[in-house]
Structure 1
Amino acid sequence: MGLEARLRLARLFLRTDARRRQGDLAAFLTAAFAGGVDVVQIRQDGLDVVTGREVLETARRAAASAQAVVGVLGDPAWAGALQADLLHVGAAGGSSAEARAPLHASALLGRSTRRATDVGAALADDALDYFSVGPVHAAPGLELVRHAARVAPVFDVAAKPWFAVGGVTEASLVRVLDAGARRVCVETALTAADDPQEAAARLARPLAEAWRADPAAARYGFAAAASRGRPR
């Protein structure tokens, strides 16, 4: 599948640093992908292009068997030099068109949204492929997730994919799903886990079940996709 199709079918997005302190990036990501992670974003300050390429190649090798997407958070020029497949920028990250310019032609671009007006701007921005909504643990939190679910129905292919982010844990996932999210982005829920594969699986399973149970999934042709691919 192409990058856009993989993003559209993604449910579990992981943000992590390069695990330089632990020295286990390959093993950690291999476990996370085996547990059900679909997208990983590396964010690590201070990496030069050479080291960044090494980190991304490690992540890409780990992602290959799962057909997962690997991207970065950072400067667009740096992401372009790395030939990253995905770049995420902040809510105040400047022009999306300018951020996209250094990226390769098929690369995915996403942006954070923190207010309803941000969500509206992201939906109207032709240079963006997806956006994140949150943080869910703080105001406006789940109300913003509910808003995104109303204006960008998860399974409507005419709407951009979006991920609830910021405090999504195994404990909070039910509330996030009840608010209408069907894609989530996590960090410490996996990066601090003793067993990242099992931790990912405990998140991936209810996400897959929410896809299967959502009437809109069948209406828009996503029901079969919820059951395909790696075991969840």
Structure 2
Amino acid sequence: MPADVADSSHRVSPPVTSTRTERLERLSRARLYVCTDARPPAGDLAQFSRELLAGGVDALQVRDKQLESRAEIEALSRVQEETRRAGALLAVNDRADVAALVDADILHVGQGDLTTGQARRIVGQETLIGRSTHSKDQLLEADSDAGIDYFCVGPVWETPTKPGRAAVGLELIRFAAQHATKPWFAIGGIDREDRLREVVSAGATRIVVVRAVRETPRESAAALRALLP
């Protein structure tokens, strides 16, 4: 019998779902947010998630465009066991219906996805909503939208995870640091410690990473977390 099956009866059950207030408190403390696909290179998805969370990750998003809905829900459920146990946030990308079905902490949407009002009709009021922004106007709009709880700013540098998306550079990070009133995360190409130091110098206190933690999740997450304010 595989080890992960043999000891399953001894695992501590994750706590029940969080309230909106609890989720907002976790968001306010969050500094390191990781996006991963469902096929990480270092172990299976549950093990990969455990390693990231042990390294200090505050929020985990499964973003895998190749997954059909049922497979995405199964992947998110595996990650959710780990995030609830660690007191971290689980985010769903784009799919409000999937976010509602798994009772995700966060629904993250892009500029071309559902409006805030449309998303709220599906996920309700307890789920946090984040939005991607790529310009000053988009940033200010997200900051003033009462239905949005946080936003991402980027990509700071061009990245293969967003092909064709032009880099916004550090100027938009400085603008966010001066004008944003909500929690916000710098994102895009922050895959080296020198780049992290640059975005922190520009005023960022929270980041989203993808590739930077894929090979050595616990060690890489811990190193990034140590450099964040």
Distance across 2 between alignment mates of 1:65 and 1:44: 23
Distance 1:94 1:103, change over 3 A: closer
Give the CA RMSD over aligned residues: 1.8
Structure 2 equivalent of residue 205 of structure 1: 226
Structure 2 equivalent of residue 2 of structure 1: 22
Structure 2 equivalent of residue 28 of structure 1: 48
Structure 2 equivalent of residue 224 of structure 1: none
Structure 2 equivalent of residue 11 of structure 1: 31
Q: Which runs of 5+ in 2 are unaligned?
A: 1-20, 159-166
Equivalent pair of 2:42/2:217 in contact (CA under 8 Å): no
Distance across 1 between alignment mates of 2:81 and 2:96: 23
Note the C-alpha offset of 1:62.
Answer: 1.5
Note the C-alpha offset of 1:84.
Answer: 2.0
SS at match of 2:194: coil
Structure 1 equivalent of residue 157 of structure 2: 137
Equivalent pair of 1:49/1:81 in contact (CA under 8 Å): no
Q: How many residues align?
A: 200
SS at match of 2:122: coil
What code does the residue aligned with 1:78 have? V
Distance across 1 between alignment mates of 2:155 and 2:208: 10
- Normalising by structure 1, we get a TM-score of 0.81
Distance across 2 between alignment mates of 1:110 and 1:64: 19
1:150 to 135, 158, 178: 178
Summarize the alignment of residues 24-173 of structure 1 with structure 2, pairs less than 5 Å apart: 24-138=44-158, 139-152=167-180, 159-169=181-191, 170-173=193-196
Structure 2 equivalent of residue 225 of structure 1: none
Equivalent pair of 1:137/1:166 in contact (CA under 8 Å): yes
What code does the residue aligned with 1:164 have? A
Q: Which runs of 5+ in 1 are unaligned?
A: 153-158, 211-232
Equivalent pair of 1:52/1:82 in contact (CA under 8 Å): no
SS at match of 1:172: helix
After TM superposition, the structure 1 stretch with the greater mean CA deviation from structure 2, 170-179 or 75-84, is 75-84
Distance across 2 between alignment mates of 1:174 and 1:37: 18
Note the C-alpha offset of 1:22.
Answer: 6.8
